[in-house]
């Protein structure tokens, strides 16, 4: 299965608890951290939910 790399580019401070939990569930601990995940429907849904806080790295 394909993998995607995502990077957190904006802070989760002053965001709803649901978005904070999604960022944490994706595995982010710091700003500008790059994480690699399998491109499953669950992960892609989480990425879409917080797309304003992260970016997909090619």
User: How do residues 39-50 score in pLDDT, each as one tens digit?
Assistant: 999 999 999 999
User: How do residues 3-28 score in pLDDT, each as one tens digit?
Assistant: 999 999 999 999 999 999 999 999 99
Rounded-to-integer distance, Cα 30 and Cα 4, Å: 18
Question: Both tokens of residue 19?
Answer: 């978005």
Question: Both tokens of residue 41?
Answer: 């429907």
Domains, the chain, with CATH or none? 3-57 (3.30.1390.20)
Query: Residue-wise over 22-52: b if at least 16 C-beta within 10 A, else e?
Result: bbeebebeeeeeeeebeeeeebeebbeebee
The model's pTM is 0.92
């Amino acid at each position: 299965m394909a993998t995607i790399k995502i990077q957190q580019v904006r802070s989760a401070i002053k965001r709803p608890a649901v978005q904070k939990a999604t960022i944490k569930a994706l595995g982010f601990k710091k700003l500008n951290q790059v994480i690699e995940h399998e491109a499953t429907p669950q992960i892609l849904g989480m990425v879409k939910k917080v797309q304003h806080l992260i970016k997909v790295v090619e």
